[in-house]
Amino acid sequence: MKKNNNKKSAGVLIGAAFLMATSAIGPGFLTQTGKFTDSLKGSFGFVILVSVILAAIVQLNVWRVLCVSGMRGQDVANKVLPGLGYVIAFLVVAGGLVFNIGNVGGGALGFNTLLGIPTMWGYFIAGAIAVIVFLFKNALNAMDNLTKILGGLMIVVIFIVILIVQPPVGLAAKETVVPSASMKDIFPAILTLLGGTVGGYITFAGAHRLIDSGITKKENLSEITKSSVMGIGIATIVRIFMFLAVLGVVVETATSPAHALDPSNPAADAFLQGAGQIGYRFFGLVLLCAAITSIVGCAYTSVSFLKTFSKTIEKNEKWFIVGFIVISTVGMALAGQPAVLLVLAGALNGLILPITLGVCLIASKKPSIMGEDYHHPTILLILGIIVVIVSAYLGITSLGSLTALFS
């Protein structure tokens, strides 16, 4: 019996990691990677390195505080400052809805690229697939399995494209350590990646999943830490693979000259120019996987921010998640193509980050929240404070640059 429980626990830990990672790896994630690799070339490797370090600090702090306390983000915030949890929940859910409208659009583009299905049909097919996941009796297990399968498929497909385009790995490695691009161009990219990887609802996705499964308190700290690091690792692998796949197209290599990318869809154009029609179809498959998993992760996490405020939402969580997906789908069908909205949503999530991380850091030192016998690592606290300051600074200074960057 214990063996089965351990197996179930391991499945949830891996599922939480993939939920966090695939929530981060949405259509905006792919678009950002294509745009920034095209503009920064090899220096985008440095952006990835810095954002991964910052994201790991965020994850380790947030997951520890939430899972050890056994409280979701909004409840921790209300304990720190009564009423703040409602503000954060509003910001996260509003941001999540914007993201999810874009995710539905990404799913339609994926269907169109892969199978030639008209985008209007694609909106509703993508939404329907996500809804079906939550109609299963054990919806959380279905969600875990979906994110694992589609997340793994994305990694394999992008790796195949890397083998075809043969990117200059030496150049990428060198510029990851010593970037040639100016810091003025690098700062907005770091903010956008940070927002797209751990901003808004994304950093809470896995932690809330563990809380829902009862993997909480100090005795489970090592498992909680492993799951959070695994989530960052999975998202990082996909980011690096996408970077290399696009880099092999936008810079001159031993086998091909440098190519200019179509600014309206740089990532898809990179796959098309690098690997022909098969590469283009592969991108459609990656985009579809990214969109479906993000729709599911976003809807689940956004509703988890509301359920402690209402017994009705808590009892009917599954149907509120379905409703969230339906609203996102209809919103996309009515709004048309919010391409700019999708990319900027990642950056705006970066502005929410210093608030949510700051709340968790304050909570980490409160025995009334964490328990009398919990001691938060000093190094994590110090690094967390640095990330709050850096992300707040980047957020304020990069607002003007972001507008120009995506115009």
The whole-angstrom separation of Cα 128 and Cα 381 is 42
What pLDDT score does 1 carry?
40
Indicate the range of 79-83, 337-341, 351-355, 359-363 predicted with least confidence.
Answer: 337-341
Query: Does pLDDT of 3 surpass 80?
Result: no
By C-alpha distance, which of 38, 111, 102 is closest to 262? 38
Note the pTM of the prediction, 2 decimals. 0.89
- CATH number for the domain formed by residue range(s) 15-405: 1.20.1740.10
Query: Does pLDDT of 254 surpass 70?
Result: no
155 vs 141, 170, 317, CA distance in Å?
Answer: 21, 21, 31
CB 359 within 8 A of CB 48: no
Query: Does pLDDT of 405 surpass 60?
Result: no
What pLDDT score does 134 carry?
95
CB 329 within 8 A of CB 127: yes
Q: What residue type is assigned to position 131 of the chain?
A: V
By C-alpha distance, which of 207, 166, 210, 194 is closest to 12? 210
Query: Does pLDDT of 343 surpass 60?
Result: no
- Give Cα 190 to chain centroid, integer Å: 14
The mean of the pLDDT values for the chain is 88
Q: Is 253 helix (H, G, I), strand (E, B) or coil?
A: coil
Which of the two residues, 200 and 347, has the higher pLDDT score? 200
Indicate the range of 61-65, 125-129, 263-267 predicted with least confidence.
Answer: 263-267
Query: Does pLDDT of 4 surpass 50?
Result: no
Q: What is the pLDDT of residues 259-311, one digit of tens each?
A: 888 888 888 999 999 999 999 999 999 999 999 999 999 999 999 999 988 99
What pLDDT score does 8 carry?
56
By C-alpha distance, which of 261, 271, 272, 283 is closest to 114? 283
* The length of the chain, given as a count of residues: 407
